[in-house]
Structure 1
């Protein structure tokens, strides 16, 4: 190994080489010493600072405070508890919990207008990534609490309430799961009307993700289903004109497409369909 090159920059004072190869300053002057390895056998990284990757701190349940969720109002209010470290996955709860300080003894978030069962399903999903009834690739697991036939739309409404709560809490993964379960749920015509009424009451016109399938369902099956729940269907159309318009628009779109196919087939066959004329008397 060759000797290291020593570069001295002296501003004032005397300089004396020590036996160990260090530079000893004499007087009040400053001396800058730079040693460069000219051979590859030295430890070139010895003088580099140690840079450790930043690892995000994992919050455990022991470190996370518990938040009390008060669902409902008055005598009907129910208290549920969850760890703040999990709740703040929701931007809604993140903002609510930001009001707590380290000295806050009792952390409470009030949910006066939320559904208790939907909130429980949200907490179940928060801890285990699913909620009852669990979803398989083909269907939902059996739920003995659902009436048969489900004329009240109990099963559909359960998932619809989870969906709207997930939208409020800004949890798209939960909303997607609830929407998937809606499409795997069996019901009756009356149950579908109850579900449609909830959707058109609780969601905005811009939420086509959940509204459009409802309109499509009735547009493609109304000729059969309205006879099973004709009075409920009529009341639904009168109560929610937007529902009637959405269904009618889809029916007319489908009719126009059929007419276009018929005309195209007629033109290809060499015959033209004549427009019916109105008799002038």
Structure 2
């Protein structure tokens, strides 16, 4: 009698075990890979040296127009500290002359701006520190300075720094304005420039100018009455700012008038 044939069914346990082992190996492999990553070192910022600035391409600046046009040269890496010049330099191609035209800018102020970019200062430099800080003597400025040339020098640098996006230079020029001596006529020339070249919301320069004249009425009457009158007619905002400060000072000295009340005014003439 033939022995019955026994059929053994294939078990899927081996397959499951194999898949499990492979999954574990994969996980172990992931863990091992992560553990084997090298430690990242912090990036050290690259220091730009002055020599790096000098190695950059030369850019020509054409300042002024007509017979007053002057060509200046500067290194591109220094110029690009200004957002204005950075935008201009970014448009240069290799085969195009690196020239930036500034037909409406003041030559002396532009020179002071370049001096600042190279040296972090411009003439006349600050001397000393704190309350005793003063400026170098400039033999080219007449004494007394009735033209306001010394004040205008720094005011022009201030407005140029504002236009070209150099806040540190703007602050430096502003500090020099407050350390510059002048006369009444020189102060009027400076005030005229400020109210002509700055925006109405630039209180950094305008407010001190108005405050200067609001507290010096004796100077107006005796030293610069004609110039002050012309200034008020040409720039009404200046006259209003001065008058507003004068009235503020008067209100602080006198009792406040309640709204709706009125003071009796003396009237000349016979009573009816």
Residue 123, structure 1, aligned to residue 118, structure 2: no
Written as runs of structure 1 = structure 2, the 5 A alignment for 1:49-68 is 49-59=38-48, 60-68=52-60
- What's the CA shift string for 1:101-144, capped at 9, x where partnerless? 3x145211111000000001001111111100011332111111
Residue 186, structure 1, aligned to residue 175, structure 2: no
Alignment match, 1:41:
none
Residue 71, structure 1, aligned to residue 63, structure 2: yes
RMSD, aligned CA: 2.9
Corresponding residue SS for 1:151: coil
Q: Which has the higher helix share?
A: 2
Would the alpha carbon gap of residues 50 and 226 (structure 1) be closer, same or farther in structure 2, given more than 3 Å must change?
Answer: farther
TM-score (norm: length of structure 1): 0.76
1:109 pairs, out of 89, 93, 100, with 100
Corresponding residue SS for 2:254: helix
Aligned-pair CA distance for 1:81:
1.2
Segments of 5+ residues of structure 1 without an aligned counterpart are 1-8, 12-30, 38-43, 264-273
TM-score (norm: length of structure 2): 0.79
Alignment match, 2:88:
96
2:152 pairs, out of 157, 172, 180, with 157
| 2:213/2:242 contact within 8 Å kept | yes
Aligned-pair CA distance for 1:161:
0.4
Written as runs of structure 1 = structure 2, the 5 A alignment for 1:1-281 is 32=26, 34=28, 47-59=36-48, 60-101=52-93, 103-136=94-127, 137=129, 138-260=133-255, 276=264, 281=271
Q: Which has the higher strand share?
A: 1
Segments of 5+ residues of structure 2 without an aligned counterpart are 1-16, 20-24
Cα distance in 2 for partners of 1:176, 1:62 equals 26
Deviates more, 1:198-207 or 1:54-63: 54-63
